[in-house]
Structure 1
């Protein structure tokens, strides 16, 4: 039986899924981060499939999402998008520490994954945490600075006035550079990394992510099995069933105890 437990660490609400017989055992753990305007409950299908395979799965609510919503509109959330991303990266460390204190982590047994904004969080987290053993980005983007610049350009092209001064924008881009995996690919250190992306995605550009994948191929020359890019010619900004199963398969291969 799969147990679903709802809990909170500090101010972070999360769902915890694990097989009943594994609840107090050291088994590989996966942190799964939801997308923009989504919530932890919306990704229970990923968690169920992973828990079935023997993983402990943690689904947190990001700042301003799910139980932590303060009623902001999508437009207002967009203005604090990168604040949410960076905050979630920092909170991953808090949640991981909680399970570490309980003695439930195993060496090389921590996976991080997410959809869209969650995929962006995943790729940024790889620049900060050596303890991430394997990662999966579904429709994510590692090029924080380029992507942020593209977002700002899009807002302007739609005729909106940017809610930031030039100085604030420079400061933001400078901060994002610290988490931009495309600017520090050596931090991957050959860790298993899978991408899934639909070619028709109009929300998170396919090309930026695919170009990054191609640029890191040399870093995986002696360990090609640790890098995979799954592209879907017909998919837009929605993960297909095949994408979900590929993620499960990836962690089964690279996160088994």
Structure 2
């Protein structure tokens, strides 16, 4: 029986966790990005599932998470919104996403020099914040050959503006949101710079599986559905490379989703 290896390491100041089979070489590489508030250990079982299929699995502690959590983190934006709205946290999450794209590129360059890795076969997945990040990185990084965003939103700007509009419907926050108009504009400009929605057309014809729970109120499916409708004509001649999966669940990364993601990677990256 092939020995399974789980190891932790620090690469370019990025704490990572790797799972792979000891005697398998030229393995496809799959990165996983965790959700906001989690860490690199969030989906260890998913890592084992992929490693059993011959993949080299890598997850990392994102900016401000896990071993990278610091007391006075340096951020682009200060907190300006009422705490209970969660808007400042939402903005910070996108700063983490932006840094995650830089981190993934640094890790790709590192693993290109590792003998047991097939650097021509690199996949990416992520859950929740990691799903957002998977859209963003897939839209901007040509090294990613297969992507599986899970429970994320591909429309950064629209989702942000929807959050502002919905928050302002609450009487206790309406005035504060109105008074913070300039701050809202600054953050809107930031979201527009990051927004992967239009850029996702550049990912075609590479395999893309979008998974979004039908009952997910944290990441409502209609953002993914809009992207699906936008990309469907492009993939009309490559239908096997594109899928929107909407299981009847809320905001979760359960076994069935993990199995579906593993099967997609095995089919398109193995």
**TM-score where L is the length of structure 1:** 0.90
Alpha-carbon shift at residue 240 of structure 1 (Å): 2.7
- Equivalent residue of 1:42, what SS? coil
Structure 2: distance between partners of 1:179 and 1:78: 14
* Selected match of 1:209 from 216, 224, 228: 224
- Equivalent residue of 1:148, what SS? helix
Alpha-carbon shift at residue 248 of structure 1 (Å): 0.2
Alpha-carbon shift at residue 218 of structure 1 (Å): 0.4
Task: Report the counterpart of residue 19 of structure 1 in structure 2.
Answer: 21
- Are the counterparts in 2 of residues 220 and 227 from structure 1 also a CA contact under 8 Å? yes
Task: Report the counterpart of residue 130 of structure 1 in structure 2.
Answer: 142
1:7 and 2:9 are equivalent in the alignment: yes
Alpha-carbon shift at residue 10 of structure 1 (Å): 2.1
Structure 2: distance between partners of 1:231 and 1:71: 38
Task: Report the counterpart of residue 39 of structure 1 in structure 2.
Answer: 39
- Equivalent residue of 2:5, what SS? strand
Which string of whole-angstrom CA distances, capped at 9 and with x for unpartnered residues, describes residues 145-187 of structure 1? Answer: 111222333444454445x954443343333334323223331
| Structure 1 range deviating more: 205-214 or 216-225 | 205-214
Q: 1:12 to 1:168 in 2, by over 3 A?
A: farther
Which string of whole-angstrom CA distances, capped at 9 and with x for unpartnered residues, describes residues 4-25 of structure 1? Answer: 1101112211101110113xx3
- Equivalent residue of 1:140, what SS? coil
- Are the counterparts in 1 of residues 111 and 119 from structure 2 also a CA contact under 8 Å? no
Alpha-carbon shift at residue 119 of structure 1 (Å): 0.7
> Superposition RMSD on alpha carbons, in Å?
2.3
Task: Report the counterpart of residue 97 of structure 2 in structure 1.
Answer: 85
Alignment of 1:147-162 (within 5 A): 147-158=159-170, 159-160=172-173, 161=176
Task: Report the counterpart of residue 236 of structure 1 in structure 2.
Answer: 250
Which string of whole-angstrom CA distances, capped at 9 and with x for unpartnered residues, describes residues 52-89 of structure 1? Answer: 10000111011111122236999564441111111111
**TM-score where L is the length of structure 2:** 0.86
- Are the counterparts in 2 of residues 127 and 179 from structure 1 also a CA contact under 8 Å? no
Alignment of 1:42-57 (within 5 A): 42-57=42-57
- Equivalent residue of 1:142, what SS? coil
Structure 2: distance between partners of 1:115 and 1:5: 22
Task: Report the counterpart of residue 116 of structure 1 in structure 2.
Answer: 128
Q: 1:125 to 1:60 in 2, by over 3 A?
A: same
| Structure 1 range deviating more: 195-204 or 178-187 | 178-187
Q: 1:157 to 1:38 in 2, by over 3 A?
A: farther
Which string of whole-angstrom CA distances, capped at 9 and with x for unpartnered residues, describes residues 72-110 of structure 1? Answer: 999564441111111111111011111113355425400
Could you say which structure has the larger radius of gyration?
Answer: 2
Alpha-carbon shift at residue 34 of structure 1 (Å): 0.4
- Any gaps of 5 or more consecutive residues in structure 2? 73-82
Structure 2: distance between partners of 1:207 and 1:54: 34
In the comparison of the two structures, how many residue pairs are matched?
253
Structure 2: distance between partners of 1:9 and 1:172: 31
| Structure 1 range deviating more: 48-57 or 187-196 | 187-196
